[in-house]
Structure 1
Amino acid sequence: RESTSVIVSCDAQSRVTVLNFRANGMSGTIDPGVYLLSDLETFAFSDAAIGGTISTYINHLSSLTSLSLVKLDMDGAVPSEIGLMSNLKELEILDTAITGPLPTEIGNCGNLTSLYIQRTEITGQIPSEIGNLAALEHLFLGSNELTGQIPSELGLLTSLTDLWLDDNNLIGSMPPELGRAVKLDTMSLGGNALTGRIPTTIGNLTALEWLSLAANGGITGSIPTEIGLMTELSHLSLNSVRLTGTVPSEMGNLVQLQAFYMSSGSQNGSYPIELTNLKNLTTFWVIWNGITGDLDPILCNPPNRSNNFAADCLDRGSRIPKVTCTCCSICF
């Protein structure tokens, strides 16, 4: 049966296989009878005033492949019984008040391809057991209250294409083992408290198109020259990262780069002429650092290309001209 807010599907034997409730004005808690539906494959609840906790009977849904709980009033922890759901392929918990740590048993969900737990109140460390999920392709754990270090075991996820751990309270350095996840297409580690240098193994991520390390004030050192190997990169954000050294000439290899953000560092030297290869740049915000030189050959040719360019045209202290950029939309 299908309506604007409820979808119920059955198989040829009239066994319920899909329950999908969305914005239907329901309230209360999930009826325990749901957990008797052993043939249920998809269970989705969203945009409703549903409270309570995720039941420890959740593993009774032994055929379940997709579980989605979005914009609900549920709280409590993710039960360890989730690890008994061997058929589960997608787990999505978004915009709820779920608390407590992620259970280590989640590493037993061997068929899991997508794990989305975002904008919740989960705490504790990222379980290293997630590294056991060999089929995992999408890992989104952003905007939670996670702490501790990024487990090096994430480098074992050789099927992973998306890694989003942004806006948590993660500490420590980027594990060099992340360079083993060579299928990564997007990676966002911004908005944490990471420290140390960007590992040179990041150059192994040659399929990466989107990278953000922004708002990690403890990241130091220079941009590794190996970044020039990441030739598919289209978005690079290093805002509010305390980088030093010079901009490596190898960045001129990033011919697909469309957006480059870098601010609040202590870099020096001048912009390498190799950056003239970046013909696809439409956004360039490199400000509040010690870099000098002429950006006109890099950004202003052809002169009529659409842009969102910003640079340190004047030294912040002496107001002496520091960078030439006649096509910059903003000159600081």
Structure 2
Amino acid sequence: MCLDHERSSLLQFKERFTIQRFASLDGNAYPKLNSWTAKDCCFWDGVECDEHTGHVISLDLRSSFLYGSLDYNSSLFNLVHLQILNLADNHFNYSAIPTAIKQLSMLTLLNLASSVFSGHIPSEVSELSKLSTLDLSYNVHRDNSREKLLKLEQGGFESLISNMTSLKMLHLSYVDISSSVPDSLANFSSLESLLLERCGLRGDFPIRIFQLPHLQHLILGHNEQLTGNIPSSIEKLSSLNALDVSACNFSGMIPTSIGKLTQLTYLDFTENYLVGKIPSSLGNLTQLTYLDLSENNLVGKIPSSLGNLTQLIQLWLSNNRLSGPVPLSFSKLTSLLVLTLKNNNLTGTVNFDMFFGLKALRELDLSDNKLSVVIKHSINDTVPQFRYLSLSNCNLRKFPDFLQYQERIVFLDLVGNYISGQIPEWLFDKSKETLYLLHLSENNLSGKIPHTICNLSSIADLRMSYNNLEGNLPQCFGNMKSLSVLTLKNNSFSGNLPIFSKGNKLKLIDFSENQLQGKLPPSLTNCRDLGYLNLEYNQLNDVFPFWLGSLPELEVLMLRSNRFHGVIGEPIPDYEFPKLSIIDMSFNNFSGKLPSKYIQSWKAMRNSISRNLTYMKTKTISVNGFVDFRVTTKIKGVNLFYEKIPDIIAIINLSDNKFDGEIPEDIGDVEALFALDLANNNLNGGIPASLGNLRNLESLDLSQNDLSGEIPLELAKLTFLQYFNVSYNHLTGPIPQTNQLSRFESSSYENNLGLCGIPLPNKCGNSEAFEPPHSSFEEESSSSSFFQFGWKVVVVGYGFGFAVGLFIGYRIVWLP
């Protein structure tokens, strides 16, 4: 029987916690402490005693729904004979690991994983010199952020393990280590499992660790500042079962000797800088169930020996520079669930029938290569039931017939083929309850959209841009409760926009470059999640849709090249476009004064920004992934297409309308403006000096108006200005001779008969009088741009993912 004082300590420990089901994540969790009622504690669930002394030597309370704090004076630390302590998968309410842990000096196993401990790992843990297993991993916020809660002091990694010379398992994944991996770890000859995922590791990974004779699991994934290579000596890890260096900074070639690791079941090298060919020796790893070499710089042909990996469940080779054909030996991979070869340089004809025998196959991605996919076989019940199928840019000429027999497809991508004719009605029939994403853009589709599209009950992302589709837009587009992204750009649709019902989830609508007519339906205000609305290049005939200002998430509004007209009045309370950052109303018939009151009310445009911010943080829409907002607008004098938009910028384009009157002074309060285009209107008066307050401005076009007076010296403060055009006005006086304004070409100032000075050929009588005093603003770099990554017409990436079971997970990366 257990000893009374230890029984009492256990009961005191129990009293400090409540049983809460949310505290454990394991589906098999249950409240072990509910059994702690009998007199002999050695028979309690999770408790084990020494059969000779009666001392409690093991306490296994993993996944027990424990909720509460573990304090330094907890009675737990009275159990000084404990050898095993497992508290994993509970919720200790952000407690620090108590320093009293050192009192349990007999511990050989300490597992505090996934139990919401926080703060610095105390140095007292390092005094547990008998530990063979230390697991402090996955202590993170239990929300989507997965923020790390545990942290090691700077340089504390080596101190933590210095006394634990008997370690077999060291699991510190998601602990903020933020240092290099100590070379001394290679001296731990008993080490079997080393898990260091997402630890902020940096520096060179010690190459000697690849020689530890008993190592079975080496997981280093997502340490972006960790450098290293895969040495040929890796063959010494003859017991290695799992190797993950994904999303690290590893370089070099994959050594041929890796083919000697015949016990490997999991190999992940994705998102590194590996070069050279895929060694054919990988075909010797016949126990592999997961192989990911994607997102590297691998070249050459795919070895046909990979067809020997008959246990393989997932094979990822996407985003490399692989060439040659798809190996016919892949038809032998009968266990395969996922095969993705996306975005390589693969060539030749793929007989799609080779995949029909892979009955387990659920995800197949052959997109964005130089392949021609041909389907010859007659359809029968041997066709795999795909969940994800991407055949974009595969030279298809028609819809694959086997799609008629796909009853549970979720993602279907046929973008960028040569599919012509009408969309068959059966496409929206068989998988109508599961189809989540459908991309048919960039084909030669014609005719009307079949009415059966209204049967899609789960569709969230529907794209049919760049085709020859015509007729009216289906009214059900406004009623689909699951639809979030709808793009029909560059077709020949006509008629009115659909009526949008309450409760819809639309976040992105792009109907641009069609022949739509009539007025905007006020029911668009029912799209409460709408962040992006693009209606440009249509024949819409309406006044300014002020009521769109009630949409709380609207950030981008594109009305360019329609027949909008009339005076834009003052904003009405609750209709002020609270998040609007980009608006293009150019090439319409708006008249009257510039809508200065509206511009003043656009709060999102008035936030000053730091030039030190990164430029690549894009506006996103969550559809189990992301969609980048894209705009084509006149910036820097030409129409540019931007595939991504930095997060805190503003663009106003009111050019090519009939606005008159003066440019209001208070436009200088819109501090986040990146581009302002008021060209080709009837504006008069002078250029406001307040425009000099727009310190982030890179493009300013005031050309083809009736502006007069001199160019204000205050514009010299616009140190990031890269495009400036005041041509075809009535400006007079000298051009300020500043580094900013005098460096533009003469075309920026032409047809202003009263202007003089560089860069114009006519000199001023006393140009020196118009040189402003030296300013620190001019010392700033004017070459940096929020769009410094350039402009190009490219395809935007989309990311999606969903679980399919298996501990490996199920990853999807998507292009439209």
**What range describes the TM-score normalised by the shorter chain of this pair?**
0.7 to 0.9
Residue 121 (str. 1) matches residue 273 (str. 2): yes
Which residue in 1 is equivalent to 2:463? 310
Which residue in 2 is equivalent to 1:290? 444
Q: Distance in 2 between matches of 1:227 and 1:78?
A: 45
Q: Distance in 2 between matches of 1:227 and 1:91?
A: 40
Report the CA distance shift for 1:314/1:103 in structure 2 as closer, same or farther (over 3 A): closer
Deviations 1:186-240 (A, max 9, x none): 1111121112222331222221111222222x1124355578744321111122x
Identity %: 25
Residue 301 (str. 1) matches residue 455 (str. 2): yes
Question: What SS does structure 2 have at the residue aligned with 1:131?
Answer: helix
Q: Which structure 2 residues correspond to residues 53-202 of structure 1 after superposition, within 5 A?
A: 53-56=205-208, 58-59=210-211, 61-70=212-221, 71=223, 73-199=225-351, 200-202=353-355
Question: What SS does structure 2 have at the residue aligned with 1:100?
Answer: strand
- State how many pairs are aligned: 322
Q: Distance in 1 between matches of 2:467 and 2:411?
A: 22
Report the CA distance shift for 1:54/1:193 in structure 2 as closer, same or farther (over 3 A): farther
Q: Distance in 1 between matches of 2:172 and 2:401?
A: 54
Partner of residue 470 from structure 2, selected from 310, 317, 321: 321
Structure 1 residues without counterparts, runs of 5 or longer: none
Letter in 2 for 1:89: N
| 8 Å CA contact retained: 2:368, 2:394 | no
Stretch of structure 1 that moved more, 87-96 or 188-197: 188-197
| 8 Å CA contact retained: 2:440, 2:464 | yes
| 8 Å CA contact retained: 1:51, 1:72 | no
Q: Give the deviation of 1:37 after TM superposition.
A: 2.0
Which residue in 2 is equivalent to 1:252? 404
| 8 Å CA contact retained: 2:178, 2:202 | yes
Question: What SS does structure 2 have at the residue aligned with 1:94?
Answer: coil
Partner of residue 265 from structure 1, selected from 396, 414, 417: 417
Report the CA distance shift for 1:68/1:224 in structure 2 as closer, same or farther (over 3 A): farther
Which structure has more relative contact order (CA 8 Å, sep 6+)? It is: 1
Structure 2 residues without counterparts, runs of 5 or longer: 1-109, 113-117, 134-163, 478-485, 490-816
Which residue in 2 is equivalent to 1:330? 487
Partner of residue 10 from structure 1, selected from 114, 132, 139: 132
Which residue in 1 is equivalent to 2:390? 237
Q: Distance in 2 between matches of 1:192 and 1:56?
A: 34
Deviations 1:131-152 (A, max 9, x none): 1111100001111111111111
Deviations 1:230-281 (A, max 9, x none): 4321111122x14132223222111111121111111234444543323232
Select the structure of larger CA radius of gyration.
2
Letter in 2 for 1:208: L
RMSD: 3.0
Stretch of structure 1 that moved more, 36-45 or 156-165: 36-45
Which residue in 2 is equivalent to 1:39? 190
| 8 Å CA contact retained: 2:383, 2:402 | no
Letter in 2 for 1:10: S
* TM-score between both structures, scaled by the size of structure 2: 0.37
Q: Give the deviation of 1:95 after TM superposition.
A: 2.1
Letter in 2 for 1:321: E
| 8 Å CA contact retained: 2:435, 2:459 | no
| 8 Å CA contact retained: 1:292, 1:322 | no
Q: Distance in 1 between matches of 2:424 and 2:275?
A: 43
Report the CA distance shift for 1:25/1:282 in structure 2 as closer, same or farther (over 3 A): closer
Letter in 1 for 2:436: T
Q: Distance in 2 between matches of 1:206 and 1:137?
A: 16
* TM-score between both structures, scaled by the size of structure 1: 0.85
Stretch of structure 1 that moved more, 13-22 or 246-255: 13-22
Q: Distance in 1 between matches of 2:230 and 2:474?
A: 53
Letter in 1 for 2:368: A
Q: Distance in 2 between matches of 1:152 and 1:226?
A: 27
Partner of residue 179 from structure 2, selected from 3, 18, 27: 27
Question: What SS does structure 2 have at the residue aligned with 1:27?
Answer: coil
| 8 Å CA contact retained: 2:229, 2:251 | yes
